[in-house]
Amino acid sequence: MKIMVSACLAGENCKYNGGNNRNEKVIRLMAEHEVITVCPEQMGGLPTPRVPSEIRNGVVTAKDGRIVDDAFRAGAAKCLEIALRERPELVVLQSRSPSCGMNQRYDGSFSGKLVNAPGVTAQLLLENGFRCVDVEDLE
Ligand code: SF4
């Protein structure tokens, strides 16, 4: 099976703080399936490390107040382009990210509060019919 995954789950150091979210379930999937890794924030042109961002009133905003919506949406569009070309049967996404979050994301106040809504890449992939799962819901 072909699976697309958030690159940080595969152990790539693409997280905002330069680290990763290596997940052993994802590592096992990589041994058994064809896995494509994507990091929409890097693909949108953002550096690593980078200032963390959240979605505030529908606009992706960095903690220092800069509007970074265009970069996040460009990265989401590149992920969609790869997904449309590669046609993964499953997409496994990192929880709570403003890009990859599936079930929840932070509310834009940088206070740790969550809302039940996806990040921009997860939303775009869902709208285009891809089967997406939050890594925390991976069987
Ligand atoms: S954008 Fe997605 S893949 Fe990249 S670091 Fe954030 S959660 Fe991981």
Residues 20-25 have a mean pLDDT of 98
Give nearest CA residue, ligand 1 atom 5.
15
Tell me the CA–centroid distance for residue 32 and ligand 1, in Å. Answer: 22
Q: Is 23 close to ligand 1, i.e. is its CB under 6 Å away?
A: no
Convert the pLDDT of each residue in 35-66 to its tens digit. Answer: 999 999 999 999 999 999 999 999 999 999 99
Q: Does the pTM of the predicted model rise above 0.75?
A: yes
Element (H, E) at 79: helix 69-86
SS3 62: strand
Per-residue pLDDT of 108-135, as tens digits, reads 999 999 999 999 999 999 999 999 999 9
Q: At 12, is the secondary structure helix, strand, or coil?
A: coil
Q: Does ligand 1 lie within 6 Å of residue 39's CB atom?
A: yes
Q: Whose CA is nearest to atom 8 of ligand 1?
A: 8
Residue-range domain boundaries for the chain: 2-50+72-106+117-137
